[in-house]
């Protein structure tokens, strides 16, 4: 550990600290990311102190809890991702690519909360844009009348001094990488600055009980820029994501001390800003074409909500020495596994075929439950036989070719029924109580081989 007043060398990518400079970070493997930083206000344990430690009280696990004070923003998709509204004194980090709509989302949130009855004070502090720019956006969104307190500032000391005196309910800092604290001798956006500024803001949010939103930039690698440490300091981490060229955006909780993770909120970016999408399945299936081989509908679960998406595969004879495999929206390792199972267990010959896989609409799926749907799309493309238009499918595939049960089958089936699907292909159900069919024709299959037989 460097001495106070000395300096240390910190990787700007992962926050790893080194006693001397080196070209490559051993922790994250990044080159040229290590820069010298002065050791500043942190490192309290090095300070000489007269105060002795005090005895802390222990309590039993049972007991009454204070009910969380949650503020609903009226933007339902955001409330759900946050676990049912904004918790007073909580800190939410919102990350995402430039231009994805973070500032738009937070300006809309801020304006909505400010317009709620109860006079909640909402502060929007922009370090990136001039006041005029934010005003133009507010006008475009039709929010210029909302009683939001807007400022353009980057000095954390000024911001803290102002907020100390306020009665804030919601504070938005756009973005944390533009903020600086005089005492820290490194440039805004460096790990030391981001950490010190966040520390001060978070301390104040806890003390005054306002909800703090920090906007964070995302690096090329896709994590929130600068420090992973920031993710540990905050209560909730949300990623705002979307594919370029698609107009819908997904807000995803990756950490939440006050709610479930993996919850998603779906928005559509329109001319007047972000509009909530209440029925994402209908949106994702909107452009589906009938009677085309290589396409099937996967009944997935995102967070607590069922989402139906179209999975498309294209299998064509390769012109290369080694066949191409390309995936958009799914894990390429998982595709390799499904292909290997189809080859080894079902005798399909895919080694002379290029395989392209696409999750239509630009959604990213992480569930293994999509295995069976992927296999189905590949077989359909290879055999050039389209699937029934009104069929959904889900299930995980094991290495021996067995089809494994996945979570919440009934939720998936209910959603399929709701959207007018008539049949479902799924893993065998073992327990009696989930034997309901929800008016669907249910095909339970225990092995991938059965899937191939369905095409004959
Ligand atoms: P912005 O919120 O500035 O993104 P971020 O803060 O994440 O960098 O969003 C900018 C993009 O959104 C820009 O490309 C224009 C688009 N946009 C709309 O399509 N409609 C709108 O109403 C607004 C305000 C922005
Ligand atoms: Mg912005």
pLDDT digits (tens, 9 = 90+) for 286-333: 888 878 899 999 999 987 788 999 999 999 999 888 999 999 999 999
Q: b vs e for 236-264, b when ≥16 Cβ sit within 10 Å of the residue's Cβ?
A: bbbbbbbbeeeebbbbbbeebebbeeebb
Residue closest via CA to ligand 1's atom 10 equals 99
User: What pLDDT does 227 receive?
Assistant: 53
Q: Which CATH architecture has domain 70-278?
A: 3-Layer(aba) Sandwich (3.40)
Whether residue 379 is predicted with pLDDT greater than 60 in this model: the reply is yes
Distance 48 CA to ligand 1 centre (A): 50
Q: Which residue matches tokens 């317009």?
A: 115
Mean pLDDT score across all residues of the chain: 88
Ligand 1, residue 215: give the atom nearest the CA: 6
C-alpha distance from residue 4 to each of 36, 43, 99, 156 (Å): 14, 8, 40, 22
Would you say the CB of residue 135 lies under 6 angstroms from ligand 1?
no
Fold of the CATH domain 283-454:
Ribosomal Protein S5; domain 2 (3.30.230)
User: What pLDDT does 184 receive?
Assistant: 86
Length of the chain in terms of residues written? 456
**188-197, 222-231, 387-396: which has the highest mean pLDDT?**
387-396
The residue that leads in pLDDT, 303 or 114, is 114
Residue 372 near residue 342 (C-beta atoms within 8 A): no
Residue 23 near residue 236 (C-beta atoms within 8 A): no
Would you say the CB of residue 249 lies under 6 angstroms from ligand 1?
no
Ligand 1, residue 128: give the atom nearest the CA: 6
User: What pLDDT does 282 receive?
Assistant: 83
User: What pLDDT does 49 receive?
Assistant: 66
Whether residue 262 is predicted with pLDDT greater than 90 in this model: the reply is no
Whether residue 139 is predicted with pLDDT greater than 90 in this model: the reply is yes
Mean of the pLDDT values across residues 182-201?
A: 88
Radius of gyration for the chain, computed over Cα atoms and rounded to the nearest angstrom: 26
Would you say the CB of residue 100 lies under 6 angstroms from ligand 1?
yes
Q: pLDDT for 32-90, tens place per residue?
A: 888 887 765 554 445 566 778 889 999 888 887 777 778 999 999 999 999 999 999 99
User: What pLDDT does 285 receive?
Assistant: 84
């Amino acid at each position: 550990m460097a001495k106070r007043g000395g300096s240390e060398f910190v990787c700007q990518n992962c926050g790893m600290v080194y006693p001397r400079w080196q070209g490559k970070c051993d922790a994250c493997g990044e080159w040229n990311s290590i820069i010298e930083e002065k050791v500043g206000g942190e490192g309290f344990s090095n300070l000489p102190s007269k105060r002795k430690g005090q005895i802390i009280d222990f309590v039993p696990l049972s007991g009454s809890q204070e009910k969380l004070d949650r503020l609903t923003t009226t933007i339902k998709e955001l409330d759900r991702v946050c676990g049912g509204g904004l918790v007073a004194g909580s800190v939410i980090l919102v990350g995402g690519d430039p231009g994805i709509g973070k500032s738009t989302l937070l300006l809309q949130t801020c304006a909505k909360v400010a317009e709620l009855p109860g006079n909640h004070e909402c502060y929007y502090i922009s370090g990136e844009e001039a006041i005029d720019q934010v005003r133009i956006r507010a006008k475009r969104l039709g929010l210029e009348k909302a009683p939001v307190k807007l400022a353009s500032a980057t000095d954390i000391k000024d911001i803290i001094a102002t907020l100390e005196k306020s009665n804030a309910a919601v504070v938005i800092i756009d973005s944390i990488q533009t903020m600086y604290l005089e005492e820290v001798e490194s440039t805004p956006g460096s790990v030391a600055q981001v950490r010190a500024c966040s520390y001060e803001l978070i301390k104040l949010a806890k003390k005054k009980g306002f909800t703090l939103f920090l906007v964070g930039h995302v690096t090329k690698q896709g994590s929130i820029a600068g420090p992973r440490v920031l993710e540990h300091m905050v209560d909730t981490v949300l990623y705002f994501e979307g594919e370029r060229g698609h107009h819908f955006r997904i807000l995803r909780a990756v950490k939440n001390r006050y709610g479930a993770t993996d919850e998603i909120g779906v928005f559509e970016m329109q001319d007047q800003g972000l509009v909530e999408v209440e029925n994402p399945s209908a949106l994702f299936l909107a452009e589906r074409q009938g009677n085309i081989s290589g396409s099937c509908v996967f009944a997935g679960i995102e967070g607590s909500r069922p989402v139906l998406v179209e999975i498309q595969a294209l299998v064509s004879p390769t012109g290369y020495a080694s066949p191409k495999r390309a995936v958009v929206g799914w894990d390429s390792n998982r595709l390799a596994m499904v292909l290997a199972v189809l080859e080894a267990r079902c005798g399909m010959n895919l080694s002379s075929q290029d395989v392209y896989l696409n999750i239509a609409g630009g959604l990213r799926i992480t569930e293994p439950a999509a295995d069976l749907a992927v296999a189905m799309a590949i077989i359909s493309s290879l055999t050039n036989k389209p699937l029934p238009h009104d069929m959904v499918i889900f299930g995980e595939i094991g290495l021996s070719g067995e089809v494994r049960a996945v979570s919440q089958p009934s939720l998936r089936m209910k959603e399929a029924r709701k959207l007018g699907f008539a049949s479902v292909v799924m893993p065998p159900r073992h327990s009696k109580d989930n034997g309901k069919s929800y008016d669907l024709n249910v095909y339970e299959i225990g092995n991938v081989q059965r899937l191939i037989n369905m095409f004959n």
